[in-house]
Amino acid sequence: MEEIFFEQEQIVTVLTDQPVNGGLLDYVISENSINLGQFVEVPIGGRSCIGVVWDKGSTKINRIKLKRVSRTIDIPFMSNDLRKFLIEVARYTVNPLNKVFKLSLGAIDFKNPPRGKKVYKVGNLELRSITPKRKKVLALLSNFPNRFFTMKQLTSSLDVGAGLINELVSLGNIETHFSHHSTPYQTCKGIFSETLSKNQKLASEQLCKLVSLSKYNTILLRGVTGSGKTEVYLDAISQAIVMRKQILVLVPEIALSIDFVKRVINRYQVKPGEWHSGVQGMERFRLYNAVAKNDVQIVIGARSALFLPFADLGLIIVDEEHDGSYKQEDGVCYNARDMAVMRASILGAQVILASATPSLETWVNVQNGKYRRIDLKERYGDAVLPDIEVVNLREQKIPKGSFISPSLRDEITLRIKHRQQSLLFLNRRGYAPITICQICGFQIGCKICDARLVQHRFKNKLMCHQCGQSENIPSVCPNCCTNGNLKAVGPGVEKIADECQNLFPDARIEILSSDSLEDVSQVEDTFSRLASGEIDIIIGTQIVSKGHNFPNITLVGIIDADLGLQGSDLRAAEKTFQSLRQVSGRAGRHKKVGKALIQTYSPNHPVILAISEGNDDAFWALEANARRKAKSPPYGKMVAFVLTGPNEKILFDIGRKLVGIWLRSYQIDARIFGPALAPVGKIRDRFRVRMLIKCNKTKDIQPKIRKWLSSVSLPRSVKILVDVDPQNFF
């Protein structure tokens, strides 16, 4: 990269993570020379902030008024391509640059970077001024001239105080260092699978060819669960390794990274770099630096890994590309899948989107030739796809308050008899979604949110799934004060577990939901017990539907297939299709034939029909057609806005004002809807008012939105969230 640098007393524009002027402020350089892209500390107001040298400064400003750059920060310079990426993300998501810059800092405090533990070794002995105690310390240290000791080791083994050690440090007799406990990331050779089926081999060759071109391209790798997508894209990773390029693999959930890390170790005998919320402090800082210095080859991460400062990224894999968790829904709202394509197109890198059930967005991009596509149609080896059976709940009556049909019960009994495992899927955490008073009909809700409280029996609490607050389960109705008449209504995974325990008293039953995700090691533990056959029935929410291999699960029961189909979400059918297809795919992944039972009140719904008949393409075509007619995404573009604040009326006033301006100035560009109170009208005592803009897909609406929003100044207490390509409308 061409280096551009500035000299002492020149003026530069620095991009900071602070909101003042969108983050861009001018400063005078104190150093001899500073590079474009170099990280610096600068004063703002009374505080000191991190920034990056972004541009040459304005010559119009009176330099007397300008402050000076305080110091440079010792991390690798920001590359030109990352800079372009930040600009593009800010533009696409309609956010100020400072917010996107902040994302790229990865929650690391670069002003006071985490350091390893302080360790001590012998220093310059000529400077000694001897006392008996000092002599004792130095004698030990000089016996081990190359060894580092911790303070604790020194003070306890020598029975001296920390003060004495520090004296010797200041005299120069002892040196201090910071230990980096962890060993460096190891490099590996590209290793290709030798057991590919004919189809897999073709796919692998095609992917490797694309990677070797070092050009931007996106390809959809579509294959049923168990078809070997991972096996095949590991070959593409090997090809990138051969070309000395870095590789980023995005996974939708931390729990899934556990599996993938194992696969990488299996194939390459090295551990990949990991980047997600479970990686903190020193580890985070270390990976950030290693990525920038090209000291790590493979990185696996959550969506935010896209913002890491890769030195030479050649391949991005988005596993389970359809997954909703790729969408960040607060702060800067972005879809990591789409931003991965954006980053790769800036870099000239290859993207592989892998899924058994691609998103309609991707499906359409394939149809119109923007993306390529490879199919893996069969499962690998002897594994066959599960039989799918629909249980019509209109015919099979289930007693009130129960949720497991006689058919499902019989199938589970059979599995227990044959020592096989069953998986029951219900996308609802907790015990019951509603707690209702049987006398007055009152439903217990959150005090600060527009949401009902969900009963959690294991925690013995009522919890709000919006704000996370919880309270004890009362025995007295808060409304009519009668005692003992509160009833938990509707199913949650915990209630299904109760029902199973009654039906199968000897079965070993466990629950896996996002409540378990609070503790990743616990999830890991559950998975390994599942794998070793210590669990008979696993009951789970969305998280069991994804990616994992559970060889001994031969039955999948979907408790309520209709759950996701209710509601007004434009993607309701698509999302339900994806999750039902994914969960059913968990059954019979190895030699044993699997079966999936789908409980529904609407067996003729197109989604249920497509799943049971295995006719995925027909479903996509139907769904695509409906969206095209409605000019909905992916055929139309949507941008959602959520105004939040403590006063509902003020929000509506601002909303109406904004809508008025849009109608006057931009109506030919796009239609606007709202303002309307959001379906969840209040979270954490802040009201929520929504607006929605709908326009043609090809329209470059973002610059207009930016201009439009800047025409109204918001009171301090009001915030506006801009969500381009929204997934959720709550």
How far is it, in rounded angstroms, from Cα 587 to Cα 385?
A: 8
- Does 226 participate in binding ligand ADP (rule CB under 6 A)? yes
CA distance 273 to 518: 22
Position among 30, 58, 157, 195 found at the interface with ligand ADP (CB under 6 A): 195
**The token pair that represents 139 in the structure block:** 């004698």
- Closest approach of Cβ 325 to ligand ADP, in Å? 17
CB 724 within 8 A of CB 670: no
In the list 103, 196, 423, 718, the residue contacting ligand ADP (rule: CB under 6 A) is 196
Our CA dihedral for 101, 107, 113, 118, rounded to 10 degrees, sits at -170
Q: Which residue has the tokens 């004698």?
A: 139
> Which residues contact Zn ion (rule: CB under 5 A)?
446, 449, 464, 466-467
Count the site residues for ligand ADP by CB under 6 A.
Answer: 15
User: Is there binding between residue 223 and ligand ADP (CB under 6 A)?
Assistant: yes
Q: How far is the CB of 253 from ligand ADP (least distance, A)?
A: 15
193 binds ligand ADP (CB under 6 A): yes
SS3 119: strand
Is residue 618 within 8 Å of 610, Cβ to Cβ?
A: yes
Collapsing DSSP to helix, strand or coil, 221 comes out as: strand
- Least distance (Å) from Zn ion to the CB of residue 254? 25
297 binds ligand ADP (CB under 6 A): no
Residue whose pair of structure tokens reads 């960040």 in the numeric block = 328
Identify what 93 binds: Zn ion, ligand ADP, none; CB under 5 to 8 Å per kind. none
Stretch that binds ligand ADP, among 194-202, 205-213, 337-345, 415-423 (CB under 6 A): 194-202
Helix (H) or strand (E) holding 424: strand 421-425
Q: Which of 199, 230, 545, 600 binds ligand ADP (CB under 6 A)?
A: 230
Rounded CA-CA distance 573/213 in Å is: 38
Q: 121 and 173 in contact (C-beta within 8 Å)?
A: no
Under the binding rule (CB under 6 A), the answer on residue 662 touching ligand ADP is no
Q: Where are the alpha helices (DSSP H) in 504-553?
A: 520-531
Segment lying near ligand ADP (by CB under 6 A), choices 218-226, 447-455, 558-566, 591-599:
218-226
625's CB contacts (< 8 A; 6+ apart) are: none
> To the nearest whole angstrom, how small is the minimum distance from the Cβ of residue 324 to Zn ion?
21
Take residue 137 and report the two structure tokens written for it.
């310390």
For the chain, the maximum distance between any two Cα atoms, rounded to a whole number of angstroms, is 94
Residues 6+ positions from 314 with CB-CB distance below 8 Å: 211, 214, 240, 243, 245, 246, 247, 347, 349, 350
* 200 binds ligand ADP, rule: CB under 6 A: yes
| Eight-state DSSP code of residue 452 | B
Under the criterion CB under 6 A, does residue 594 sit at the interface with ligand ADP?
A: no
User: DSSP code of 686?
Assistant: E
Nearer to ligand ADP, 221 or 537 (CB): 221
**What residue 425 binds from Zn ion, ligand ADP, none (CB within 5 to 8 A, per partner kind)?**
none
Beta carbon nearer to ligand ADP, 222 or 571: 222
Q: Is 582 in the site for ligand ADP (CB under 6 A)?
A: no
**386 or 726: whose CB is closer to ligand ADP?**
386
x/- binding map, residues 507-546, to ligand ADP, per CB under 6 A?
Answer: ----------------------------------------
Contact set for ligand ADP, span 546-575 (CB under 6 A): 549
456 vs 581 by CB, closer to Zn ion: 456
Whether the ω angle into residue 96 lies within 30 degrees of 0, i.e. cis, is: no
* Span interacting with ligand ADP, options 34-42, 145-153, 229-237, 465-473, rule CB under 6 A: 229-237
From ligand ADP, Zn ion, none, interface partner of 230 (C-beta below 5 to 8 A by class):
ligand ADP
CB of 553 to ligand ADP, least distance (A): 13
Listed ranges 178-186, 220-228, 446-454, 679-687: which one lies at the site for ligand ADP (CB under 6 A): 220-228
Residue 449: C-alpha distances to residues 55, 96, 249, 686, 700 (Å): 45, 29, 37, 8, 36
Q: Which of residues 354-413 bind ligand ADP (CB under 6 A)?
A: 380
Task: In angstroms, give the least distance from the CB of 614 to ligand ADP.
Answer: 17
CB of 239 to ligand ADP, least distance (A): 16
Rounded to a whole number of angstroms, the minimum distance from the CB of residue 584 to ligand ADP is 13
Closer residue to Zn ion in complex, CB, 24/462: 462
Query: Checking DSSP bridges between strand 595-600 and strand 686-696, what pairing results, if any?
Result: unpaired
* Segment near ligand ADP (CB under 6 A); pick from 37-45, 64-72, 196-204, 338-346: 196-204
Asked if 470 and 451 count as a contact pair (C-beta separation under 8 A), the reply is no
Beta strands in 484-610 (DSSP E): 486-489, 509-512, 537-540, 553-558, 595-600
Confirm or reject binding of residue 266 to ligand ADP (CB under 6 A).
Answer: no
Contact in structure between 209 and 201 (CB atoms under 8 Å)? no
Q: Which does 227 bind (CB under 5 to 8 A by kind): ligand ADP, Zn ion, none?
A: ligand ADP
- Answer for which of 23, 57, 190, 228 binds ligand ADP (CB under 6 A) is 228
On whether the CB atoms of residues 583 and 423 are closer than 8 A, the answer is yes
Cis peptide bond N-terminal to 634, omega within 30: yes
CB of residue 267 to ligand ADP, shortest distance in Å: 10
Residues near ligand ADP (CB under 6 A): 193, 195-197, 200, 223, 225-231, 380, 549
